[in-house]
Amino acid sequence: MKNYRVLSDIDEEGVPVRYRFQFGKLDIVKQLNNGAIHTEGDTKGVALFGKELFNSAEAKALTITEGAEDAMSVYQMLGSKYPCVSVRSATTARRDAEKDYAYINSFEKIYLCFDNDKQGQKALKEVASLFDVNKVYHVKLDKYKDANDYLVNGASEAFTRVWWNAK
């Protein structure tokens, strides 16, 4: 969270109650007690979470996830070595990828690691269709719904195997 500059609002006992994920001039605020999400700020021009942390083509591969927590989880599970960013949601995935097309396309390999549900897989196909088929790798999650679930459940090694075996 520190590396991605995610802010945590805490209650009087020091327990986190909210996370603020910054997408440029937009904050996406997630309430921890009920999972409610709302946005604050300007949504124009906003696309990928974490993009400002990694230069274009700074590595061979870029991983794109469906959520900010997943991007941070992938980054951590891969040893904080490879750029990881996220789209805002499955609903906005194609638009977000179109907005940052040049940035995404600057990488030799594009790993798509979207949620293992109907909406996530639909979004994955929509984003994949924007790029050269030889550059896109599908990280097929099989054990858990998303990357963060792998991390939370102590399955980082299983995730890393899935990532390295992506086709």
Determine the residue type at 167: K
At 40 the pLDDT is: 67
> Which residue from 5, 20, 9 is spatially nearest to 51, judged by alpha carbons?
5
At 49 the pLDDT is: 87
Give the residue carrying structure tokens 């906005």. 92
With residue 2 as reference, give the H or E element that holds it.
none
At 58 the pLDDT is: 87
pTM of the model as a whole: 0.88
CA–CA distance, 17 with 33 (Å, rounded to integer): 7
Q: What are the average pLDDT values for consecutive 10-residue runs of the chain, which has 167 residues?
A: 84 83 69 66 72 90 94 96 93 94 97 97 97 97 96 97 97
At 16 the pLDDT is: 80
For the segment 124-136, what is each residue's pLDDT rounded down to a tens digit?
Answer: 999 999 999 999 9
> Which residue from 165, 152, 163 is spatially nearest to 69, judged by alpha carbons?
152
